[in-house]
Structure 1
Amino acid sequence: MAEIRDEAVLKAVAHPLRRRLLDTLRVDGPSMPSALARATGQAVANVSHHLRVLADAGLIEEAPELARNRKEHWWRMGDPRLSWNPADFSPEAAEAADAIGLQRQIDLIRTWLGSPASRTEPWVTSAIAADFWLLLSPEELAELGAELEALVLRYRGRAPREDRVPVFVMGRGFPARP
């Protein structure tokens, strides 16, 4: 897992388009700026700039072995898992990164709920939306998080199949009052 400890790297992640580019590389694997531009609806020059920012931050790397000629530039993620501790950063930087991440999650959920697939089989009965109220200590919450991550990682890296599509899974746990 890539642990972010540098505020400049956190700022690189805390940009909506860069988050989307990282997500696309996570799901689709290595890609060229032109394909990423099509996937995100952005200009190739804009995507290339943001890829360079992500590369300078050490979050992605070039994949020259995939190029068929000198004009092609391929990019890939190293470890697709990113982590940071908000206590390591200024409150403003941590808040900005969390806000961008939360907005990305909200956008994905809204897109899903507005799609016809969300109301038809087989996805209407397969999609999950759950929340729970638990009484936990900080240690127990950390243990729950580790167990959830281990469970989700069992499903990562499965071979493509006709019936498999990218699925966004999200979970959050934090102290709150109803």
Structure 2
Amino acid sequence: MEEKNVREIRDSKALAAIAHPLRHRLLDLLHLDGPATASLLAEKTGQAVGNISHHLKVLAASELIEEAPELARDRRERWWRRTSSAIKWGAQDFPDDPIAEAAEVLTLDHQHAVARKWLASRDTYPPEWRGALFSIDGWARLSIAELDELNDRIVAMLAEYRDRSQPDDGAERRPVFVAARASLGQP
């Protein structure tokens, strides 16, 4: 299944760019909040503007973000936006590459960090939000073809919500992080 507006990572340079925790966070912010300047991103992350500028340049060099000059009020102001709504990569595309191993670990760390942050702060959210969030896991015996089909279905379902125009129905919408991972193993 071909997903629209997905950047497939095939080179180590781009993979290293997205594996860095701050750059990963910058990509998340640009996705959720839309285009931003280094100053705006520095405010949101608590980082120095110069540090954010450096990381934005790394992301731009890997074509993960691009300038949005139409948003600038003058020639000094630089706005940045993501070049795709999603990023896809697989360790199998980077055989014997230590960057892929590090990226796998950092991605899993990121997923766990988001979940731990939620658990630590869940009492600060309204009960209806606490009751709506979920966690699910389970075992299934699958062939490679079935695992590919499952992946395609999860990706398509997430894309349906991620890439849609926000409905104008008055419902409150908050950022929700959804992670799915398939791992071989034994219970």
TM-score over 0.5 (shorter chain) = yes
CA distance, structure 2, for counterparts of residue 55 and residue 117 of structure 1 = 38
The alignment of Structure 1 onto Structure 2 pairs a total of residues equal to 178
Q: Residues 154 and 46 from structure 1, CA distance in 2 versus in 1: closer, same or farther, beyond 3 angstroms? A: same
Q: Residues 159 and 17 from structure 1, CA distance in 2 versus in 1: closer, same or farther, beyond 3 angstroms? A: same
What does residue 166 of structure 2 align with?
159
What does residue 24 of structure 2 align with?
19
Contact in 2 for aligned 1:25/1:77 (Cα 8 Å): yes
Shift of 1:91: 3.6
From 37, 53, 59, the equivalent of 2:58 is 53
Structure 1, 158-167 or 143-152: larger mean CA deviation: 158-167
What does residue 35 of structure 1 align with?
40
From 126, 149, 153, the equivalent of 1:147 is 153
What does residue 93 of structure 1 align with?
99
What does residue 105 of structure 1 align with?
111
Shift of 1:118: 6.8
Q: Residue deviations 1:54-110, cap 9 Å, x none?
A: 000111000000011122110000112111121222341111111111111111111
Structure 1, 108-117 or 47-56: larger mean CA deviation: 108-117
The 4+ residue runs of structure 1 with deviation greater than 3 A are: 116-120
Q: Residue deviations 1:112-131, cap 9 Å, x none?
A: 01114477411121001010
1:174 aligns with 2:178: no
Q: Which amino acid aligns with 2:183?
A: F
From 7, 17, 30, the equivalent of 2:12 is 7
For residue 161 of structure 2, give the secondary structure of its aligned residue in structure 1.
Answer: coil
1:115 aligns with 2:121: yes
What does residue 77 of structure 1 align with?
82
Structure 2: gaps (5+ residues): 1-5
CA distance, structure 1, for counterparts of residue 124 and residue 159 of structure 2 = 24
CA distance, structure 1, for counterparts of residue 86 and residue 153 of structure 2 = 16
From 131, 134, 143, the equivalent of 2:140 is 134
Computed over aligned residues only, the root mean square deviation of the Cα atoms, in angstroms, reads 1.5
CA distance, structure 2, for counterparts of residue 165 and residue 124 of structure 1 = 12
Contact in 1 for aligned 2:122/2:130 (Cα 8 Å): no
